[in-house]
C-alpha cells in the first residue's frame, strides 16, 4: 500500500487560505441540491464565530470545492472539516437515513498568492461546465462567496 502524504506541520503564514475538496463516499451524487446548499451557507456563516472565513465555493453533485482562511484562533483544519462534513451529513441523514456519507480524507492545498487563488477559482467555477451540468458557470445554482478573502492577514479574522 502506498504511504499517505502527511499534512504540513507548520506554515510560513499565520493566516493561510486553503483550497479544500471533500468528496462523498463512493462519489455518490447527493450534494447538489437546495437543502445542502442552504446548510452549507449556514455553516459557513457560523464559521466566522470560530475564526474561519469561507470564501468562494462550488457544490458539485459528489464533492465540494471551497476556499477558507484560518488564523491562530481557528480550530484545526481537520477538526473544522469534520464539523463541516458532520453538519452536511445531518441533512443527508434526514433524506436518506444513516450511512457513511463522506470519504475519510479530503484534499487541501495552501494558496500561495492572490494569482493562484484567482487561477484556482477559475478552474473551480468551470467544474459544472466541464461536467456537462450547465453551459455557463454562472448558471450553476450551487456556488457563491461568503467572504471576500485577501492575502493581507496578520492574524486577525
pLDDT tens, residue by residue, 57-87? 999 999 999 999 999 999 999 999 999 999 9
CB–CB of 24/63 below 8 Å? yes
User: What distance separates the 2 farthest-apart alpha carbons in the chain?
Assistant: 44
- Cell numbers linked to 112: 500561495
pLDDT attached to residue 154: 45
- pLDDT of the residue at 95: 84
**11-22 tens-digit pLDDT:** 445 678 999 999
The predicted pLDDT at position 36 comes to 98
Contacts of 156 (CB under 8 A, 6+ apart): 71
- Give me the chain's average pLDDT, please: 88
Measured distance CA(90)–CA(92) in Å, rounded: 5
Please give the helix or strand (H or E) that residue 122 lies within, else none: helix 114-125
Class of domain 17-145: alpha beta
Pairing of strands 64-70, 17-24: antiparallel
CB 20 within 8 A of CB 57: no
Residue ranges for the chain with pLDDT beneath 50: 4-5, 7-12, 153-157
C-alpha cell at 88: 452536511
The H or E element that residue 145 is part of is strand 143-145
Amino acid at each position: 500500500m502506498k504511504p499517505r502524504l502527511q499534512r504540513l506541520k507548520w506554515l510560513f503564514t499565520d493566516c493561510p487560505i486553503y483550497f479544500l475538496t471533500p468528496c462523498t463516499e463512493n462519489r455518490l451524487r447527493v450534494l447538489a441540491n437546495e437543502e445542502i446548499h442552504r446548510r452549507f451557507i449556514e455553516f459557513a456563516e457560523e464559521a466566522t464565530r470560530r475564526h474561519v472565513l469561507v470564501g468562494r465555493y462550488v457544490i458539485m453533485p459528489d464533492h465540494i470545492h471551497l476556499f477558507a482562511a484560518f488564523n491562530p484562533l481557528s480550530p484545526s483544519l481537520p477538526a473544522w472539516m469534520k464539523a463541516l462534513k458532520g453538519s452536511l451529513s445531518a441533512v443527508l441523514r434526514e433524506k436518506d437515513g444513516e450511512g457513511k456519507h463522506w470519504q475519510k480524507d479530503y484534499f487541501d492545498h495552501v494558496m500561495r498568492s492572490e494569482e493562484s487563488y484567482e487561477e484556482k477559482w477559475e478552474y473551480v467555477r468551470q467544474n459544472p461546465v466541464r461536467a456537462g451540468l450547465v453551459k455557463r458557470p454562472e448558471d450553476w445554482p450551487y456556488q457563491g462567496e461568503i467572504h471576500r478573502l485577501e492575502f493581507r492577514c496578520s492574524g486577525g479574522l
